[in-house]
């Protein structure tokens, strides 16, 4: 059974520490991986040490029985090195992938609440979801495991060298510290800036590509495609430049490590020769010491590259936690006190106040709206009046700062989000049509719906004729974002999907926002016909079809400035009559 990921520490701590803390539930697996890695690396060092002893001893022509044990040990170490390395990779990668899966689930759950998605650019969000999330695996497998293995194995090798020759052990310790600590620290310091720029450049390139691909028709129409391509090329050039700097850092680390390795081995050789001449060390131990020193630097060889990557991993971690730390616009209800379930379909909004930041003006400032059961009510007003904010509260995309929203006598803001969305559905201002078939787009609202149910709801929204005329009927692919459907068809499809969910309140948010005047009037008429019998709230800036609604609220600057029927509002001065008089 997969252990849940530990809660990340509070915001403000170093992203690397927070990313490492995500692996806490699998700390035992990583500890086992470090132990296996130490055995693998130690076997490699021991293999060369035993081989040195074997070769040096064989030069003295001893009896075969004197070296048989070393021959067996050489074979055993060669086998154990491969086996333990395989097991180390198996254990650490398994733990890292499981941790990565938990992190992805965290990100998906956070994004599934919908409201944080709008706070990031789409291309940049893809990079955060993929590359920046994958950085967790890089940190655990390449950033933490190799240093811990080096610490365990390096300490053992230094102790062994000190036993053979104390000055040689101290010299080896100094060389390992330089190659395993000083060089990585220098690489980490030099890689901090490029790593940060690399994460930002990757996000900028993704954003530029997504904007160019999805905006291609408009870019071509306005002759702006060349500028968009230049933006992509500039972002790619910046990422390439940063990658070259990263490659230079890797080269610096490898070159510095090779230099320190060579100097340490030569110094150990000279020290060993001197000790042999003094009689404090035998020729065979001297050969073992020198070749052990040479093999020991295998332990610290990966560390400079690891350190050079820490800057990029830290930047990716910061971007990852930007998503995870984004405060939800809809708070979960308190545990232990579930709110009452709605028992009717009448909507009652009282004193609703919403704003998007402590210093921001009120988007809604004390709005009162009533939608009696089975009636159709319109909320009308100019752009920026707060209408879409009202829709966002009803769709449970954000919480009100003050006021109540009751459906059937129950406050829907006090219920779990999914429960509220089961009773409130509708057509958002920009409904999403998935790149799938008509059938799958409809069954998103009710997976168990039969074809008869689908055709019935299509007839209700006057889309059945268009669907029947399509090449494959319900199995017709609608294209990415519904590009094979007209704007009116997309609105009708979104309404059909909402009706399949059988909500108690139907919210139509700017259903004619992207339609031409002729299509607009027909779509509004069809939507209102299809919504007959539902408690329906029509949120719009358009005057089309308002003569058919039961009640109208005119909103301006976050407040209700007029309220009444179509006929009553036309009979008195105000925004509504002025809007009707405009050509």
CA 526 to each of CA 95, 462, 567: distance values in angstroms, whole numbers, following the listed order: 55, 7, 22
Element holding 581 (H helix, E strand) = helix 575-581
Please check whether residue 402 is in contact with residue 368, taking contact to mean a CB–CB distance below 8 angstroms: no
Q: Residue 573 class from Cβ within 10 Å (0-12 exposed, 13-18 middle, 19+ buried)?
A: exposed
Question: What's the confidence (pLDDT) of residue 212?
Answer: 85
Question: What's the confidence (pLDDT) of residue 341?
Answer: 60
Question: What's the confidence (pLDDT) of residue 1?
Answer: 35
Q: How many CB atoms lie within 10 A of CB 455?
A: 17
Sign of the dihedral through C-alpha 431, 435, 441, 445: negative
Grouping H, G, I as helix, E, B as strand and the rest as coil, residue 52 is: helix
Give dist(CA 295, CA 316) in Å, integer.
34
Alpha carbon dihedral 248, 249, 251, 256, in 10-degree steps, equals 140
C-alpha closest to that of 138 among 207, 199, 206? 199
Alpha carbon dihedral 453, 456, 460, 465, in 10-degree steps, equals 130
Please check whether residue 292 is in contact with residue 45, taking contact to mean a CB–CB distance below 8 angstroms: yes
C-alpha closest to that of 386 among 369, 374, 370? 369
| φ, ψ (nearest 5 deg) of residue 348 | -135, 110
What residue has token string 């610290």?
300
Give dist(CA 421, CA 348) in Å, integer.
16
Question: What's the confidence (pLDDT) of residue 9?
Answer: 45
Give me the average pLDDT of each 10-residue run along the chain (583 residues): 43 78 88 92 89 84 77 87 92 90 83 62 68 82 87 91 89 90 83 69 80 80 85 87 79 85 90 87 88 88 82 80 77 60 79 86 90 90 85 86 87 79 80 85 87 88 86 85 80 84 84 69 77 85 83 90 89 85 70
Question: What's the confidence (pLDDT) of residue 32?
Answer: 93
CA atoms within 13 A on the CB side of 156: 16
470's tokens? 């399509």
16's tokens? 């690397």
The domains of the chain, with CATH numbers, are 15-200+247-324 (1.20.1560.10), 347-433+501-581 (3.40.50.300)
Question: What's the confidence (pLDDT) of residue 340?
Answer: 57
Q: Which residues contact 90 (CB under 8 A, 6 or more apart)?
A: none
């Amino acid at each position: 059974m997969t252990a849940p990921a530990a809660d990340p520490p509070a915001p403000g701590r170093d992203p690397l520490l927070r990313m490492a803390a995500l692996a806490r539930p699998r700390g035992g697996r990583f500890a086992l991986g470090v132990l296996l890695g130490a055995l693998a690396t130690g076997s490699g060092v021991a293999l060369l040490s035993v081989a040195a002893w074997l070769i040096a001893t064989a030069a003295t022509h001893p009896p075969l029985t004197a070296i048989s044990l070393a021959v067996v040990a050489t074979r055993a170490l060669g086998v154990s090195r491969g086996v333990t390395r395989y097991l180390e990779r198996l254990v650490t990668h398994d733990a890292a992938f499981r941790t990565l899966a938990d992190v992805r689930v965290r990100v998906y759950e956070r994004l599934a609440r919908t409201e944080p998605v709008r706070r990031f650019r789409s291309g940049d969000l893809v990079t955060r979801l993929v590359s920046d999330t994958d950085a967790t695996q890089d940190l655990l497998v390449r950033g933490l495991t190799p240093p811990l293995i080096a610490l365990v194995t390096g300490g053992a090798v230094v102790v062994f060298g000190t036993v053979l020759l104390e000055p040689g052990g101290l010299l080896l310790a100094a060389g390992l510290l330089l190659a395993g600590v000083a060089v990585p620290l220098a690489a980490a310091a030099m890689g901090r800036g490029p790593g940060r720029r690399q994460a930002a450049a990757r996000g900028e390139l993704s954003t530029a590509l997504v904007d160019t691909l999805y905006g291609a028709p408009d870019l071509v129409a306005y002759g702006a495609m060349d500028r968009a391509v230049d933006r992509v090329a500039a972002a790619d050039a910046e990422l390439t430049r940063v990658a070259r700097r990263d490659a230079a850092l890797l080269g610096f680390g490898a070159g510095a490590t090779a230099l320190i390795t060579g100097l340490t081995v030569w110094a150990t050789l000279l020290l060993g020769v001197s000790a042999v001449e003094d009689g404090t060390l035998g020729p065979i131990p001297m050969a073992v010491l020198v070749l052990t020193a040479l093999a020991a630097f295998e332990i610290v060889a990966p560390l400079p590259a690891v350190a050079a990557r820490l800057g990029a991993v830290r930047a990716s971690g910061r971007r990852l936690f930007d998503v995870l730390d984004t405060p939800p616009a809809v708070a979960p209800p308190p545990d232990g006190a579930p709110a009452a379930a709605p028992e009717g379909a009448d909507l009652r909004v009282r004193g609703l106040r919403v704003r998007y930041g402590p210093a921001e003006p009120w988007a809604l400032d004390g709005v009162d709206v009533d939608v009696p059961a089975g009636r159709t009510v319109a909320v009308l007003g100019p752009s920026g009046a707060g209408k879409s904010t009202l829709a966002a509260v009803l769709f449970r995309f954000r919480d009100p700062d003050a006021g109540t929203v009751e459906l059937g006598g129950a406050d829907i803001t006090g219920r779990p989000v999914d429960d509220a969305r089961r009773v409130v559905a509708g057509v958002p201002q920009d409904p999403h049509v998935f790149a799938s078939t008509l059938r799958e787009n409809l069954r998103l609202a009710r997976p168990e719906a039969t074809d008869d149910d689908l055709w019935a709801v299509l007839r209700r929204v006057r889309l059945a004729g268009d669907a029947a005329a399509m090449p494959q009927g319900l199995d017709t692919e609608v294209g990415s974002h519904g590009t094979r459907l007209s704007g009116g068809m997309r609105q009708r499809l979104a309404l059909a999907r909402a009706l399949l969910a059988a909500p108690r309140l139907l919210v139509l948010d700017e259903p004619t926002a992207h339609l031409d005047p002729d299509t607009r009037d027909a779509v509004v008429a069809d939507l209102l016909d299809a919504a007959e019998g539902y408690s329906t709230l029509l949120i719009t800036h358009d005057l089309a079809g308002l003569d058919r609604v039961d009640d109208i609220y005119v909103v301006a600057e976050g407040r209700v400035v007029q309220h009444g029927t179509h006929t009553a509002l036309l009979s008195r001065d105000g925004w509504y009559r002025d809007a009707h008089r405009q050509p």
